[in-house]
Amino acid sequence: MKKVAVLLSGCGVFDGCEVNEAVLTLLTIATEGASYQCFAPDQEQMHVIDHLSGNVAEMEKRNVLVESARIARGEVLATTALEIDNFDALIIPGGYGAAKNLCDFAVNGADCEISTLVESFIDQFKQAQKPVGFICISPVMIPKIYPQGATGTIGTDEETAAAFDVMGGQHQQTNVDDIVVDSKNKVVSTPAYMLANTIVEAHKGIEKLVKKVIALT
């Protein structure tokens, strides 16, 4: 049975992992007959957002690993616990947490840096030539990890696509229900809620991505 690592970035679209994208990813992995293990960096979130009001909760602090446990029903490991030989692939759902906690793209754009805990985690899959799927905004990390010219998509947003290219990647526009495959680097990406208006639209691209990532193992 194939085993897929899933990297979470907290819990909640505005300051952590997009819950629908995470759940759809886990469901599709299981539906495809594979198993999964969730991971998250053991670090403080950039900030906490009140998801009802949309305001920053100034006095609150939360841990990415602890918050990710909400999605994973407690079954989540720190990124430092990865044993790469036990896994065939990695998938990274989006949400603002991917651009605030896994990296700081939300603040620094093309000048962003990836969390050291996250970079070393993803790099193990890269070095082992194991496929990685990037969903929603998480593909902005592709140019920071893979060689010059690595391809990926965040959909059709021109500003984000331009930043992707500036960082050394090669962005490809695509529709919400489609994927972009960089066969050379074994990287797959899909826009999901960068474009999706409904959970059904998000599911179509995520399902294709999961199936392709597993097929590349």
Which residues are known catalytic residues?
136
| Burial of 120 per CB tally in 10 Å (0-12, 13-18, 19+) | middle
d(CA 178, CA 20): 17
**Dihedral over alpha carbons 174, 40, 32, 137 (to 10 degrees):** -10
Alpha-helical runs (H) found in 32-167: 64-71, 96-97, 105-108, 116-127, 142-145, 158-166
C-alpha to C-alpha distances, 152 to 172, 182, 206, nearest whole angstrom: 6, 7, 14
Structural contact between residues 188 and 103, judged by C-beta atoms closer than 8 angstroms:
no
